[in-house]
């Protein structure tokens, strides 16, 4: 069965082929998005095994065949929904950290936002699944690349704005942040930890990302300050 | 049906009740261990969903009822097998790092050993499962505590032995190491990365753990050197 929206939309704007194509695309995007919303909610609540295609169809007010039309398999929908949630979380994290005035407040805002949701656990489940389903790897790879590059960009811009001294390259800071988030949260969720405990553990494991300069009127804005990394040069 | 070994052992040493009990316990331990070996191999290869109780019984030359007798469910066996593998890995990691002469060699030996096996991915799958099966959480909790405390002890003893300066408390170093290992490896496995790539990424994300002292003849052995952590005191 063809998806409902794809079937009916051309009839609505049948007079103009361009309109029709645009309406179809737009209706298709809306249906995709609705299916992803419903799937995310159910998958986060019940996991992959505990959620069926017909549950998701019912939650999104759609037909099961529309899920297979847009996503092919439940596993592909799971991974796409988890990747989308993870990028939403990254954006929310970046927004929350804009209010920080010190490096410590900044890291705290990131950790607090990340540990307040189920998105990292959802994404970690998608990563575990993708290990055995390498056909789904390209989307995961693009998502991780975006996480790292957008994290690095957001962090570098805050470091520059406030004149902080970063303890390592922004790209490394971002990679460490997300790897630690995944590691700490799947450990903590398995042990039934609260969001507050997860946040404390994240801060403890992460360590500091940056420092404030010794003199506030320092005019040199340094994104990476090598003087804080004796270990890079002197350890052998 | 009662497990085969528990059934037959008392008959063998029927003359002495103490012997019989000891033989039963020993045979039970052997059967448990054989089931865990077979299960670990299959679970690592095919995952939880791809492995059945009868597959494991066949691999361990046992009856399916022996699995339910010793472990109750496939999920409980999965988590126990994964926890055991993780503690074996921790021991192998510690052994490999004994040969290191510098902090960098030490961290490299840890990362190389961890990324050479599937054990972290197996454990991460067990963590994801335990999130929805909180009855299995106590074993996971004990395993994580042992990982952290044994890692901290092993690291502190090497720091002291070589006179290195640790950049943070051994307990924090150990927690960071395992959280990063889990995060980096489930990301990397999802993207189909090689063991070599995983090792590079782990080293990049971890950063340095310790430095060598500026003068070799330093007689003070410091497990934690606060002078290397200006960020702790000066960032606000």
DSSP class per residue in B183-201: HHHHHHHHTT--HHHHHHH
At B19 the pLDDT is 77
Of B127, B190, B205, the CB nearest to A131: B190
Q: Work out how many CB contacts closer than 8 A connect A with B.
A: 159
Residue A228's pLDDT band, with cuts at 50, 70 and 90, is very low
Q: DSSP for B67-85, please give it.
A: HHHHHSSHHHHHHHHHHHH
The answer to whether A179 contacts B192, with C-beta atoms less than 8 Å apart, is no
User: Under an 8 A CB cutoff, do A124 and B126 touch?
Assistant: no
Cβ neighbours of A140 in B, within 8 Å: 190-191
Residue A171 has pLDDT above 60, yes or no: yes
Q: Which of B176, B190, B208 sits opposite A127 (nearest CB)?
A: B190
> How close, in Å, is residue B30 to chain A by CA atoms?
29
Mutate to test the interface with B, among A131, A164, A230, A232 (most CBs of B within 10 A): A131
Tell me the CA distances in angstroms from A108 to A89, A103, A129, A139, A161, one per residue in order: 15, 8, 30, 29, 18
CATH homologous superfamily of A75-211 equals: Tetracycline Repressor, domain 2 (1.10.357.10)
Q: What is the pLDDT of residue A11?
A: 45
- Secondary-structure percent of chain A, ordered helix, strand, coil, rounded to 5: 75, 0, 25
For position A15, what pLDDT does the model report? 62
pLDDT single digits (tens) B139-185: 999 999 999 999 999 999 999 999 999 999 999 999 999 999 999 99
- Chain A residues with CB-CB distance to B141 below 8 A: 191
Cβ-proximal residues to A56 (8 Å cutoff; 6+ apart), any chain: A35, A38, A39, A42, A67, A74, A77
pLDDT confidence of residue B183? 97
Average pLDDT for residues B201-224, to the nearest whole number?
74
What is the mean predicted confidence (pLDDT) over A202-209?
Answer: 93
Distance (Å, rounded) from C-alpha B138 to C-alpha B146?
Answer: 12
Per-residue pLDDT, A224? 54
Are A49 and B49 within 8 A, CB to CB? yes
Is the minimum CB–CB distance between A62 and chain B shorter than 8 Å? no
Cα–Cα distance for residue pair B57/B150, rounded to 1 Å: 33
Write down the pLDDT at residue B224: 54
Beta carbons of A231 and B214 less than 8 Å apart: no
Quick one: A214 exposed, middle or buried, by C-beta within 10 A (0-12, 13-18, 19+)? exposed
Taking CB atoms and an 8 Å limit, are B124 and A128 in contact across chains? yes
Taking only the tens place, the pLDDT of each residue in B63-80 is 999 999 999 999 999 999
**pLDDT tens profile A129-160:** 999 999 999 999 999 999 999 999 999 999 99
What average pLDDT does this structure show over A80-105?
A: 96
Q: Do the Cβ atoms of A35 and A84 come closer than 8 Å?
A: no
A46-60 in b/e form (b: 16+ CB < 10 A) is ebbeebebebbbebb
Intervals of CATH 1.10.357.10 along chain B: 75-211
Provide the pLDDT for residue B182: 97
Please answer yes or no on whether B137 and A191 come within 8 Å at the CB atom: yes
CA distance B217 to B198: 36
Sign of CA dihedral A10, A13, A18, A21: negative
User: What is the topology classification, in CATH, of domain A1-8+17-71?
Assistant: Arc Repressor Mutant, subunit A (1.10.10)
Distance from CA of A203 to the nearest CA of B (A): 10
- Tell me the pLDDT tens digit for each residue of B72-121: 999 999 999 999 999 999 999 999 999 999 999 999 999 999 999 999 99
Q: What is the mean predicted confidence (pLDDT) over B197-223?
A: 78
Tell me the pLDDT band of B13, cut-offs 50, 70 and 90. very low
B44, pLDDT greater than 50:
yes
If you average pLDDT over residues A114-143, what whole number do you get? 96
Contact B183, B123 (CB under 8 A): no
Identify the residue with better confidence: B153 or A215: B153
* B227 pLDDT tier (thresholds 50, 70, 90): very low
Please say if the pLDDT value at position A217 is more than 90.
no
Judge whether B176 is closer than 8 Å to chain A, CB to CB: yes
pLDDT at A25: 83
**DSSP-derived pairing of the beta strands B165-166 and A210-211:** unpaired
Query: Do the chains contact at A183 and B187, CB–CB below 8 Å?
Result: no
pLDDT band for position B17 (50/70/90)? confident
**B98-121 burial by CB neighbour count: b if 16+ within 10 A, else e?**
eebeebbebbbbbbbbbbbbbbbb
State residue A9's pLDDT score.
41
Grade residue A21 by pLDDT with cuts at 50, 70 and 90: confident
Residues B7-24 have a mean pLDDT of 62
Could you say which residues from 127 to 166 on chain B have a Cβ atom under 8 Å away from some Cβ of chain A?
127-128, 130-132, 134, 137, 140-141, 144
Q: Is A211 in contact with B234 (Cβ distance < 8 A)?
A: yes
Query: What is the pTM assigned to this prediction?
Result: 0.83
Quote the pLDDT of residue B229: 46
Which residues in A lie closer than 8 A to residue B127 (C-beta atoms)? 186-187, 189-190
pLDDT, residue B15, reads 62
Q: How many CA atoms lie within 13 A of B175 on its CB side?
A: 19
Top residue of B163, B186, B212, B230 to mutate, by most chain A CBs within 10 Å, is B186
Name, in order, each residue with C-beta under 8 angstroms of A123's C-beta and a sequence gap of 6 or more.
A82, A83, A85, A86, A143, A182
Between CA A171 and CA B134 the distance in angstroms is: 36
**From-to residues of CATH 1.10.10.60 in chain B:** 1-8+17-71
- Out of B124, B205, B210, the one facing A176 most closely (by C-beta) is B205
Contact A140 B190 (CB under 8 A): yes
For residues B158 and B100, the answer to whether their CB atoms sit within 8 Å is yes
CB B77 within 8 A of CB B35: yes
* Confidence band for B213, pLDDT divided at 50, 70 and 90: confident
For residue A78, CA distances in Å to A44, A148, B41, B68, B158 come to 10, 21, 27, 31, 44
Averaged pLDDT for residues A88-103: 96
Cβ burial A27-43 (10 Å sphere, 16+ → b, else e): bbeebbebbbebbbebb
Place B236 in a pLDDT band, splitting at 50, 70 and 90.
very low
Restricting to B residues 187-226, those with a Cβ less than 8 Å away from any Cβ of A are 187, 189-192, 201, 204-208, 210-212, 214
Report residue A80 as tokens: 């796409």
For the cut 70, the answer to whether the pLDDT of residue A69 exceeds it is: yes
A192, B134: Cβ pair inside 8 Å? yes
At residue A215 the predicted structure's pLDDT band, cuts being 50, 70 and 90, is low
Does residue A163 surpass a pLDDT of 90?
A: yes
Q: What is the model's pLDDT at position B11? A: 45
């Amino acid at each position: 069965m063809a998806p409902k929206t794809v079937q009916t939309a051309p009839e609505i704007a049948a007079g103009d082929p361009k309109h029709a194509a645009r309406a179809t695309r737009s209706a298709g995007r809306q249906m995709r998005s609705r299916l992803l919303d419903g799937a995310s909610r159910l998958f986060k609540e019940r996991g992959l095994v505990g959620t069926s295609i017909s549950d998701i169809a019912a939650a999104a007010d759609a037909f099961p065949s529309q899920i297979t039309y847009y996503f092919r398999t439940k596993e592909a929908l799971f991974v796409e929904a988890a990747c989308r949630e993870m990028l939403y979380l990254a954006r929310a994290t970046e927004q929350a950290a804009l209010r920080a005035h010190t490096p410590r407040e900044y890291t705290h805002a990131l950790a607090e936002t990340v540990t307040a949701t189920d998105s990292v656990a959802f994404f970690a489940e998608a990563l575990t699944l993708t290990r055995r389903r390498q056909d789904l790897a390209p989307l995961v790879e693009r998502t991780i690349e975006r996480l790292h590059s957008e994290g690095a960009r957001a962090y570098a811009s805050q470091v520059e704005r406030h004149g902080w001294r970063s303890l390592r390259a922004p790209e490394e800071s971002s990679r460490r942040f997300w790897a630690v988030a995944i590691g700490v949260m799947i450990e903590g969720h398995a042990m039934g930890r609260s969001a507050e405990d997860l946040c404390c553990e994240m801060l403890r494991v992460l360590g500091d990302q940056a420092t404030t300069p010794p003199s506030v009127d320092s005019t040199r804005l340094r994104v990476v300050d090598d003087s804080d990394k004796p270990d890079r040069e002197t350890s052998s």
